[in-house]
A and B are shown apart, each in its own frame.
Chain A
Amino acid sequence: MNADQWIKSTSEHPFAPYNFAFIDEGAKREIRRKILKAVAIPGYQVPFGSRDMPIARGWGTGGLQITLSIIGPKDVLKVIDQGADDSVNAVNIKRFVTQVTGVALTEETQAATIIQTRHRVPEKRLSSEQLLVLQVPIPEPLRDVEPSERESRRMHAEADYGRMWLRLYEDIVKYKEITIGARYPAQVNDRHIMDPSPIPRWDNPKLHMAECLYLFGAGREKRIYAVPPFTSVASLEFEDHRFRVESFDGKQCRLCGSRKSYLDELIDDVNGKRFYQCSDTAFCAERQTIES
């Protein structure tokens, strides 16, 4: 259905007075311009005039504004949170998007043209036709070593990343390990250090030389950044302390048996035992279907 048909079909709808995809065309234009610049300068945070949304700041308004600015009636949308399609926040977001666009929703990763996600990258490799939109709480990888935005912007401008490397080194001295869990910083296109959003380290390698475009939106902090396909994304490491993903040695998914996906740890509420399940529920469901 095209936008015209959508407007006619929703005239009785509570969202009828609003534009297609809720935000006005002027806002979309600015976001679209900024996305293009983000793609042209991989890993660099482009400031944008983030609009207030009906969903709270900190709850995905950046990712949402990107999705709403690029989505069209023919798109198929998947929204996940912590890897799960029916996490409460994901449900809330996709309910809103579908109400203001009429787009079809899916839980199947390969069927989606746009995937909006919080804190996970799908296990299945995405194609060049797919777009991944990540929700970002804190876009600035240097924030832990530098609270001032002016100063962190200067550091990126001058590629003055010494203090970030120092922080990693201090971890090793103190704990013999780099203790950063999620939000592990990576250098993009051999230039800008980027915060990949709070995805686990497990997902960092997926950004390197991917086939799809990654778009990152931080609504509250008002920044957009991107990693184009076939771009170098190098998680920071030292020669003698290499970047390591989380270990699930000896563990497998209770539902599908996978040993090669990021697992959620759960406690059985009857016997107190610990067990594991795929965080990516669609990946897990598909494996279960294949096996049955």
Chain B
Amino acid sequence: MAIFTACDDSQTIYRIMLMAMSHPGKRYAVAAPGNDSGGQWLILRLATCLMDHEVTFALSDGWDDALHKELAQRTGAHPTNWEQADFVFIAGGASDGWAATAKRGSLAYPDEGATLVYCVAALTEASAEEKTHQRARLTGPGIAQPGPPGLAGLSMAEYNLLQAVNADYPIGVDAFVVQGNQFIMGLPRSTRIEVK
């Protein structure tokens, strides 16, 4: 009955993702299964939950080669370039400007904009930004109190980039930030990001 266990997993992960996208900036904990939770368990669960042969994906630099094959085989999604991908997986908290090339949809069909998935590792030391006291402040739909994101890991430059990419709402990209196998945070294009 392995497929039905996967069905159960998908539904559980999806509800967390739905909450994350509905409450941008809040971090949501994911209960990993007790047994083998390899380094990319959460990414793969997220992928199998949402992706199949009807969508395309791209990877940034920084991933090991196995992920590409895993994603294609497990989901049936088609690999393509950044400009055409429905899903883009970014290793780390910065896309080096590449987020600006992802699909943003059109005014008539803004939903065709891409979904970016940033995969950040748990932080162990304060980042350079934290040392200079730069902070991102989020406002918009889903956010009860304007404030900083609950999950660290995206660079301030990346927040600025996302703000710029999503400046022409409703066209834009939507993002998830995944920290290891533990936390998910959502950043829809409707969120306004201020870096101070």
Question: Does B22 sit at the interface, judged by CB under 8 A?
Answer: yes
Identify which of B49-57, B63-71, B157-165, B177-185 touches chain A. B49-57
Contact with B along A15-49 (1 / 0, CB 8 A): 00001100001101110111111111110101100
Verify A229–B11 contact, CB threshold 8 A: no
Question: Does B61 sit at the interface, judged by CB under 8 A?
Answer: no
State how many angstroms separate the Cβ of B30 from the closest Cβ of chain A: 15
Verify A41–B170 contact, CB threshold 8 A: yes
Q: Which residues on B sit within 8 Å (CB–CB) of A128?
A: 23
Question: Does A73 sit at the interface, judged by CB under 8 A?
Answer: yes
Verify B15–A70 contact, CB threshold 8 A: yes
Question: Does A166 sit at the interface, judged by CB under 8 A?
Answer: no
A2 to B12, CA, bound (A): 11
A36 and B21 in contact, given A4-B4, A4-B5, A29-B50 (Cβ under 8 angstroms) = yes
When C-beta atoms are compared, the residue in chain B nearest to A37 turns out to be: B111
When C-beta atoms are compared, the residue in chain B nearest to A214 turns out to be: B22
Question: Does B1 sit at the interface, judged by CB under 8 A?
Answer: yes
Verify A44–B110 contact, CB threshold 8 A: yes
Verify A42–B190 contact, CB threshold 8 A: yes
Verify A72–B11 contact, CB threshold 8 A: yes
Identify which of B92-100, B119-127, B141-149 touches chain A. B141-149
A26 to B50, CA, bound (A): 9
- Set B1, B142, B169, B170: member contacting A231, Cβ < 8 A: B142
Verify A41–B111 contact, CB threshold 8 A: yes
Verify A25–B7 contact, CB threshold 8 A: yes
Question: Does B90 sit at the interface, judged by CB under 8 A?
Answer: no
Q: Which residues on A sit within 8 Å (CB–CB) of B52?
A: 26, 29
Verify A189–B7 contact, CB threshold 8 A: no
Chain A residues 39-91 with CB under 8 Å of chain B are 39-42, 44, 46-47, 70-73
Q: Which residues on A sit within 8 Å (CB–CB) of B73?
A: none
Q: Which residues on B sit within 8 Å (CB–CB) of A38?
A: 111
A33 and B190 in contact, given A46-B111, A213-B18 (Cβ under 8 angstroms) = no
A115 to B75, CA, bound (A): 31
- Set A28, A33, A73, A192: member contacting B170, Cβ < 8 A: A192
A20 to B7, CA, bound (A): 8
Question: Does A200 sit at the interface, judged by CB under 8 A?
Answer: no
A41 and B110 in contact, given A35-B18, A191-B170, A229-B144 (Cβ under 8 angstroms) = yes
State how many angstroms separate the Cβ of B163 from the closest Cβ of chain A: 15
A122 to B68, CA, bound (A): 46
Question: Does A139 sit at the interface, judged by CB under 8 A?
Answer: no
A141 to B10, CA, bound (A): 34
A80 to B54, CA, bound (A): 34
Verify B49–A230 contact, CB threshold 8 A: no
State how many angstroms separate the Cβ of A199 from the closest Cβ of chain B: 20
Chain A residues 137-166 with CB under 8 Å of chain B are 153-154, 156-158
A158 to B106, CA, bound (A): 11
Question: Does A93 sit at the interface, judged by CB under 8 A?
Answer: no
State how many angstroms separate the Cβ of A95 from the closest Cβ of chain B: 21
Question: Does A7 sit at the interface, judged by CB under 8 A?
Answer: yes
Question: Does B153 sit at the interface, judged by CB under 8 A?
Answer: no
- Set B1, B54, B110: member contacting A30, Cβ < 8 A: B54
A158 to B107, CA, bound (A): 7
Question: Does A228 sit at the interface, judged by CB under 8 A?
Answer: yes
Chain B residues 9-51 with CB under 8 Å of chain A are 10-12, 14-15, 17-18, 21-23, 49-51
Question: Does B128 sit at the interface, judged by CB under 8 A?
Answer: no
When C-beta atoms are compared, the residue in chain A nearest to B175 turns out to be: A40
When C-beta atoms are compared, the residue in chain B nearest to A157 turns out to be: B107
State how many angstroms separate the Cβ of B191 from the closest Cβ of chain A: 9
Q: Which of B18, B50, B106, B144 has the most chain A CB atoms inside 10 A of its CB?
A: B18
Contact with B along A206-220 (1 / 0, CB 8 A): 000000010000000
- Set A36, A191, A230: member contacting B174, Cβ < 8 A: A36
Question: Does B188 sit at the interface, judged by CB under 8 A?
Answer: yes
> 27 interchain pairs (CB within 8 A)?
A3-B7, A20-B4, A20-B7, A29-B10, A29-B50, A32-B49, A36-B21, A36-B115, A39-B18, A40-B21, A40-B174, A41-B111, A44-B111, A70-B11, A70-B18, A72-B8, A72-B12, A72-B15, A157-B106, A157-B107, A189-B140, A189-B141, A228-B22, A228-B190, A229-B22, A230-B144, A231-B142
Residues of B bordering A, CB below 8 Å: 1, 3-5, 7-8, 10-12, 14-15, 17-18, 21-23, 49-52, 54-55, 106-111, 113, 115, 140-144, 169-170, 174, 188-190
